[in-house]
């Protein structure tokens, strides 16, 4: 079940790539965070894409197996997007990509968003603001904030700096926002540290016998 997994990983510096990383092999064993409806709800909560009250309401109204079906749709959407990103990472995204984004645009068309005037801030500092809301009519609508994150990634990110972690077994991807664009690892604490340890072992093996 999804809720038995370790916490989801948000290391990509871009939520659209974090969605791709919802299945990953950060160490040795593949982890699928969207393996069922519970896993999808847990990931959406950790990504802060859907309000907790909405997740609880949709869980309560869902028919048996309905959330598992939405999770399967999410996995299909994710793997389609993985192909799109893998084909284009490391070079600028060009206008001819638009035709290939048709499935994403079709999903975005389903959205029911609207603006409302509401209170913003707390206490004496409260003021009025226009806030974006959404009608969550069915469990399928859980895919819409994911689609928005993907669309924002496509339009706002420089694909030149989209990279795959260099860890030998790692499948995580990230957007390299470092100043010199020299990031190599999903995380220094995971793959970066493993690479340092491996390099240290290799140095020790290369030393002449009796020198250590």
Q: What is the pTM of this model?
A: 0.85
Distance CA 163, CA 86 (A): 9
Query: What letters, b where the CB count within 10 A reaches 16 and e where it falls short, cover 80-96?
Result: ebbebbeebbeeebeee
* Residues 6 or more apart whose Cβ sits within 8 Å of residue 25: 31, 169, 170, 171
Quick one: pLDDT at residue 125? 77
Give me the chain's average pLDDT, please.
Answer: 89
Distance CA 54, CA 52 (A): 5
Average pLDDT over residues 74-84: 97
- CATH class held by domain 2-109+138-206: mainly alpha
Q: Check whether 209 has a pLDDT greater than 70.
A: no
Of 31-40, 71-80, 105-114, 191-200, which range is least confident?
Answer: 191-200
For residue range 119-178, what is the model confidence (pLDDT) as tens digits? 887 777 788 999 999 999 999 999 999 999 999 999 999 999 999 999 888 889 999 999
Quick one: pLDDT at residue 200? 43
Residue 70 C-beta-side C-alpha neighbours within 13 Å: 21
Joined together, the tokens standing for residue 74 give: 């999410």
**Portion of the chain with pLDDT greater than 70, in percent:** 88
């Amino acid at each position: 079940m999804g809720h038995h997994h370790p916490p989801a990983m948000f290391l990509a510096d871009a939520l659209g790539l974090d969605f791709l990383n919802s299945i990953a092999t950060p160490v040795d064993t593949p982890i699928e965070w969207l393996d069922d409806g519970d896993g999808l709800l847990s990931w959406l909560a950790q990504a802060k894409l859907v309000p907790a009250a909405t997740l609880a309401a949709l869980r309560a109204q869902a028919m048996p197996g309905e959330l598992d079906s939405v999770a399967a749709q999410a996995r299909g959407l994710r793997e389609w997007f993985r192909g799109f990103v893998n084909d284009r990472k490391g070079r600028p995204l060009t206008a001819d990509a638009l035709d290939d984004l048709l499935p994403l645009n079709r999903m975005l068309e389903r959205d029911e968003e609207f603006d409302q005037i509401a209170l913003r801030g707390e206490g004496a500092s409260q003021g009025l603001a226009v806030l974006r809301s959404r009608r969550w009519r069915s469990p399928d609508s859980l895919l819409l904030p994911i689609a928005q994150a993907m669309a924002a990634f496509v339009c706002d990110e420089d694909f030149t700096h989209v990279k795959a972690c260099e860890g030998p077994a790692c499948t995580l991807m990230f957007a390299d926002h470092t100043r010199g664009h020299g990031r190599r690892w999903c995380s220094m604490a995971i793959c970066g540290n493993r690479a340092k340890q491996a390099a240290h072992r290799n140095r020790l093996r290369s030393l002449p016998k009796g020198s250590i």
